[in-house]
């Protein structure tokens, strides 16, 4: 539900109350999990409406298992086409066989889908259970021994037993409670752009994927069943914070000039026409603690692992579902939050480290990395190499 509407399916008024800041994957998963654990969540979202879009997601591992426990799997498509082809393109656009993703990874089946698929499934599960207020967010947070109060930008004040900051890598909750973003953000030396294309690339069939890489540049286009292709581009820059203040079309055309044959120019043209383009620097968030008192950070607000990890969306769901289970196991938030972090942090640390390794697969840093990557992709097209690739990607 949205605005101030109510629902008879809400938990009783005596239920503990949670204020969830952010209506993305982590925030929706937290609200759903807490509602099922007997809490009364309220979601506030600074955007005026629900957002859509986003790049592709390899959905497997802890997030997949958590989604199964939440009963979401039937709502999540696998957008891979069995007849889809994987191609690698060189800097001039010449195509060779590419790396196929395995069907099972990290102990679970793997589905290829979009961030918007996950958000839609969570939203459909939550909207009739939890109030969602758009167009507002916290401007001040105060805590005492009995709870936490948040003053919102619309002038209202919300009192809760727990405040969950699930408002992304540029989290307002984290800035208000833990301090400035610069204390916790580790920037990579590159930026990412992504959009949904309005037409397929010439010569591509539904389900095809094309990857074009060179030292310091990378372009990926994934096409799916029943959805337009999704494109994203990565490029290195010594000043990522300055780069993202430029107009995306200008910055990308300069970075990818003469690259990718006909593939990349078509992607850039689609980005010019798109109403919504993600254009941001790539960063990880690293904090020693994810909670202070009755405020806890979740998902990218707490541990942004970057798209290179392949686990950002999944760990947002896994962290939210585990948080609700851990709160149900303890008498108060203090002990619960400590136990939750103890159980979750090893997984997060592992995936953050994997992202540092996998960034060289997504975009080789130099000529040696480019040659090594091409050799790896060629090797995975053999039976032995395919098994090795599955180990390395897991």
* Residue 133: CATH number of its domain: 3.50.50.60
DSSP 11-26: PPTTS-EEEEE--SHH
pLDDT at 123: 97
Q: Are residues 23 and 52 in the same domain?
A: yes
Q: Are residues 90 and 166 in the same domain?
A: no
Placement of tokens 């959905």 in the chain:
59
The answer to the question of residue 4 being in a domain is: no
State how far the Cα of 337 lies from the Cα of 29, in Å rounded to an integer: 17
The answer to the question of residue 165 being in a domain is: yes
10 Å Cβ neighbour count for 256? 21
Q: Are residues 150 and 172 in the same domain?
A: yes
The answer to the question of residue 2 being in a domain is: no
pLDDT at 127: 94
pLDDT at 54: 65
Encode pLDDT of 261-318 as tens digits: 888 888 888 888 887 888 999 999 999 999 999 999 999 999 998 888 878 899 999 9
pLDDT at 381: 66
10 Å Cβ neighbour count for 147? 18
pLDDT in tens, the chain (394 residues): 544 433 445 555 589 999 999 999 999 999 999 999 999 999 999 998 887 666 788 898 999 999 999 999 999 988 888 888 888 887 777 888 887 777 777 788 888 888 889 999 999 999 999 999 999 999 999 999 999 999 999 999 999 999 999 999 999 999 999 999 999 999 999 999 988 888 877 777 788 888 988 899 999 888 887 778 888 899 999 999 999 999 988 999 999 988 878 888 888 888 888 878 889 999 999 999 999 999 999 999 999 988 888 788 999 999 999 999 999 999 889 899 999 999 999 999 999 998 888 888 888 888 988 888 888 888 776 655 555 555 555 5
Q: Are residues 261 and 354 in the same domain?
A: no
Asked if 179 and 232 count as a contact pair (C-beta separation under 8 A), the reply is no
The answer to the question of residue 313 being in a domain is: yes
Q: Are residues 113 and 65 in the same domain?
A: yes
Placement of tokens 């690698």 in the chain:
88
Q: Are residues 125 and 58 in the same domain?
A: yes
* Residue 246: CATH number of its domain: 3.30.9
The answer to the question of residue 40 being in a domain is: yes
pLDDT at 4: 40
Domain ranges, residue 300: 17-77+109-184+287-358
Q: What does DSSP assign to residue 204? A: P
Which phi and psi (to 5°) does residue 176 adopt? -70, -35
Q: Are residues 43 and 135 in the same domain?
A: yes
Q: Are residues 353 and 368 in the same domain?
A: no
The answer to the question of residue 208 being in a domain is: yes
Q: Are residues 267 and 299 in the same domain?
A: no
Q: Are residues 131 and 194 in the same domain?
A: no
pLDDT at 169: 93
State how far the Cα of 353 lies from the Cα of 201, in Å rounded to an integer: 34
Q: Are residues 208 and 176 in the same domain?
A: no
The answer to the question of residue 58 being in a domain is: yes
State how far the Cα of 45 lies from the Cα of 135, in Å rounded to an integer: 6
Task: Specify the number of domains making up the chain.
Answer: 2
Q: Cα–Cα–Cα angle for 358, 222, 126, nearest 5°?
A: 85
Q: What does DSSP assign to residue 192? A: E
The answer to the question of residue 67 being in a domain is: yes
Q: Are residues 235 and 375 in the same domain?
A: yes
């Amino acid at each position: 539900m949205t605005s101030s509407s109510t629902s008879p399916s809400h938990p009783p008024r005596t239920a503990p109350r949670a204020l969830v800041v952010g209506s993305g994957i982590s925030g929706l998963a937290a609200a759903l999990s807490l509602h099922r654990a007997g809490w009364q969540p309220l979601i506030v979202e600074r955007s005026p409406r629900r957002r859509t879009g986003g790049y592709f997601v390899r959905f497997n591992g802890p997030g997949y298992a958590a989604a199964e426990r939440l009963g979401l799997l039937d709502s999540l498509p696998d957008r891979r086409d069995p007849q889809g082809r994987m191609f690698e393109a060189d800097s001039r656009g010449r195509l060779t066989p590419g790396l196929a993703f395995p069907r099972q990874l990290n102990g679970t089946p793997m589905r290829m889908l979009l961030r918007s698929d996950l958000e839609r499934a969570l939203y459909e599960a939550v909207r009739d259970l939890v109030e969602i207020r758009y167009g507002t967010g916290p401007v001040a947070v105060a805590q005492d021994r009995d709870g936490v109060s948040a003053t919102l930008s619309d002038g209202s004040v919300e009192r809760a037993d727990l405040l969950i900051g699930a408002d992304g890598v540029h989290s307002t909750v984290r800035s208000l409670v833990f301090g400035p973003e610069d204390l916790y953000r580790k920037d990579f030396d590159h930026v990412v752009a992504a959009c949904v294309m309005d037409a397929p690339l010439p010569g591509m069939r539904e389900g095809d994927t094309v990857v074009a890489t060179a030292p310091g540049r990378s372009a990926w286009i994934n096409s799916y069943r029943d959805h337009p292709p999704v494109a994203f581009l990565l490029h290195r820059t010594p000043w990522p914070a300055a780069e993202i203040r430029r107009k995306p079309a200008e910055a990308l055309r300069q970075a990818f000039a003469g690259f990718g044959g006909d593939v990349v120019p078509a992607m850039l043209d689609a980005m010019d026409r798109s109403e919504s383009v993600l254009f941001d620097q790539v960063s990880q968030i690293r904090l020693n603690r994810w909670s202070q008192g009755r405020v806890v950070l979740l998902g990218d607000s707490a541990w942004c692992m970057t798209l290179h990890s392949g686990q950002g969306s999944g760990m947002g769901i896994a962290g939210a579902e585990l948080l609700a289970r851990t709160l149900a196991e303890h008498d108060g938030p203090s002990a619960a939050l400590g136990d939750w972090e103890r159980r979750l942090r090893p997984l997060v640390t592992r995936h953050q480290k994997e992202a540092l390794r996998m960034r060289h697969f997504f975009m080789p840093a130099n000529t040696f990395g480019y040659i090594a990557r091409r050799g790896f992709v060629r090797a995975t097209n053999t039976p032995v190499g395919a098994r090795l690739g599955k180990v390395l990607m897991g």
